[in-house]
Structure 1
Amino acid sequence: VGRQPEVPSLSLLVSHDTKDAPAAVLDPLRRAAKDAGVNLVFASEQLAVHSAEASSVDVWDCYRIADFALYFSDFEGFGNALLECLACRLPLFVNEYEVYRRDIAPLGFELPSLSIPATSSYDDFVAHGLSVFGRRSLVGTLPQQLDDMAAQIKALVALKPPGQPLPAGRQRDQVDHHLALVAAHFSYPVVERRLLSIIDRLMKQPV
């Protein structure tokens, strides 16, 4: 999510491919974005996700200018995009999906998080989430935790200049802390060492 001087409202970039999402998910998101005055952008429709052209704009460019990221998945095989956001030093707000709770958070990640009840209405969730952007309050029945997160996001938006790094303080210390954790646990050198260790053990096993 980001703000640019030439765009009068906040922009919400959805990095997931729209062909993987049913209309029951996309339609309420589009309606809520329109009602809230949010510029909704789908990466798969407007950005060059994989392009060799030097002039193309890709998701990484959007990470670099975003103010913060939302990661509200109910289910993920792991969560590569979560690590990408943290590697780009983005403040990140997450839903505590199973893999995050089990494998990522215990490593020291302290992201502002939700625990979305399975019975929550998706329309209400989208509407409440976009009401963060402040055009008007949208009606819904989400738990208090989402309202608390909305307050945190509003405070972050008020603090951070559009398209600029976070000023010195607690929020910047937090993104630096998470970047260090990503490097310590999920960087290519770490993966290489672990894979070589596994291969070495396998090679030493008797046939």
Structure 2
Amino acid sequence: MPKNIGFISTRFAGTDGVSLESAKWAEVLWDDRHISYWYSGLSDRSKDIAYVVPEAHFGHPENEWINERLWKRTQRDPLVSSRIRDLADYLKGTLHDFARRYNLDFIIPQNVLTIPMHVPLGIAVTEFLAETGMPAIAHHHDFYWERTRFSVGCIQDYLDAAFPPSLSNIRNVVINRPAQEQFALRKGESALLIPNVFDFDQPAPQPDEYSADIREQIGLEKDDLLILQPTRIVPRKGIEHAITAVGMLKDPRCKLVISHAAGDEGMDYKHMLEEKAREEGVDVRFFDERIGEVRQFDDEGRKIYTLWDLYPHADFVTYPSTYEGFGNALLEAVYFRKPTLVNRYSIFIQDIEPKGFRFALMDGIVTNRVVREIKRILDDPAYREEMCEHNYRVARRHYSYTVLRRSLRTLMTALTGLN
């Protein structure tokens, strides 16, 4: 039976994991004619199905004021508690209005009951569910206990109550096995594991007239090899290892192209990467100013491309992350049939590697063995193609929309008793 479903988050915009995965969930739910509506503080969804409340965004000034007084301290001022309560009450009222406006049958909180970037919103969603009894699937991407910046704070009472809450009308979903185990230990409840997915039944988009000149715009010569680092510039992405690998290849054709910007965690890391590239003679191209969420033209009349415009032109992908909640960019590389260097981060070891993928693998450092494998991949087209086709088949079996569709149907049946 088709239902009206409300997705709730601080932001549904751009290419962050929550925005991307929630869109995939909505696409799969539409296969069963469920209609999705979107509540958030920032949104790029269609206006007729989006309910935007600026105070719900984690970057809203009131929430930033609150956050500045919650973390790295062990005692909470009564004024902070009052401001949290006031904002939570306001947001709860908007959630009730959201549910009435779209006649919602079901809600899917996306990470707002998981990571306490917006404590008042987490409290508001928890109380909304307690008051309405509406069935919900809480999709958890990053728990607070997985992030060091949330290790010291003065809100354990709120964390215990709302991140996530224990309510009979909620079913919990996590994206990796360690999170599933920790959730059971910390909350005493079970959670269903649903990994990030791609529509592997549909072929990846190929270059068209708009994106045909992207290598030229990067400044590459015809014989250059585009080594793509498809991530933001933050320390946990381990981009220094990509620079080391390219330097050890000793091939002047290899150009390391970084697709996204720095700034989320300061600029020091980018400056370090620039210095390292100079010292090791690696040609690094920062292309973030020309990569956007949608195709458009900037103020200078230059084309803005999407990341998916860039992938088809890559000769090799580097993914040397030291930590990932799952690894969306890794699945993207497989989806576009690109050979990839992977640092064996913990979730990869436990959840992804056992599936039988074939990558150039490193364990924290780039060794001569790793570089020899990369050279073989770049120099041997038959070896490279067989590797990429194998990975695509494995991903289609384990990380396709079919897997997601089956899991969501099971969850919704368990919560509603209806097929």
1:194, distance to aligned residue in structure 2 (A): 1.7
Confirm or deny that 1:93 pairs with 2:341: yes
1:23, distance to aligned residue in structure 2 (A): 4.3
TM-score (norm 1): 0.69
Structure with greater Cα Rg: 2
| Counterpart code for 1:87 | Y
Contact 1:43 1:59 in 2 (8 A): no
Question: 1:68 — aligned with what?
Answer: 316
Any idea what the Cα deviations from partners look like across 1:66-116, whole Å, max 9, x if unmatched? 111111111111110010011111101101111111111111213221111
Confirm or deny that 1:201 pairs with 2:414: yes
Confirm or deny that 1:10 pairs with 2:254: yes
Q: Residues 13 and 21 of structure 1: is their aligned pair in 2 closer, same or farther, counting only changes over 3 Å? A: farther
Inter-partner Cα distance in structure 1 for 2:317 and 2:295: 26
More strand, by proportion:
2
Contact 1:13 1:43 in 2 (8 A): yes
Unaligned runs of 5+ in 1: 117-141, 160-166
Inter-partner Cα distance in structure 2 for 1:170 and 1:67: 14
- Aligned mate of 2:370, from 136, 140, 149: 149
Any idea what the Cα deviations from partners look like across 1:125-172, whole Å, max 9, x if unmatched? xxxxxxxxxxxxxxxxx5xx622111122233333xxxxxxx3x2321
Confirm or deny that 1:176 pairs with 2:394: no
Unaligned runs of 5+ in 2: 1-214, 225-251, 298-302
SS in 2 for 1:170: helix
Inter-partner Cα distance in structure 2 for 1:47 and 1:185: 33
Confirm or deny that 1:111 pairs with 2:359: yes
Contact 2:333 2:340 in 1 (8 A): yes
SS in 2 for 1:93: strand
More relative contact order, 1 or 2 (CA 8 Å, 6+ apart): 1
Contact 1:78 1:99 in 2 (8 A): yes
Count of paired positions: 168
Question: 2:138 — aligned with what?
Answer: none
Q: Residues 152 and 92 of structure 1: is their aligned pair in 2 closer, same or farther, counting only changes over 3 Å? A: same
TM-score (norm 2): 0.36
> What's the RMSD between the two structures over aligned residues?
2.6
| Counterpart code for 2:261 | D
Question: 1:126 — aligned with what?
Answer: none
Inter-partner Cα distance in structure 2 for 1:89 and 1:40: 23
1:35, distance to aligned residue in structure 2 (A): 4.0
Task: Report percent identity of matched pairs.
Answer: 29
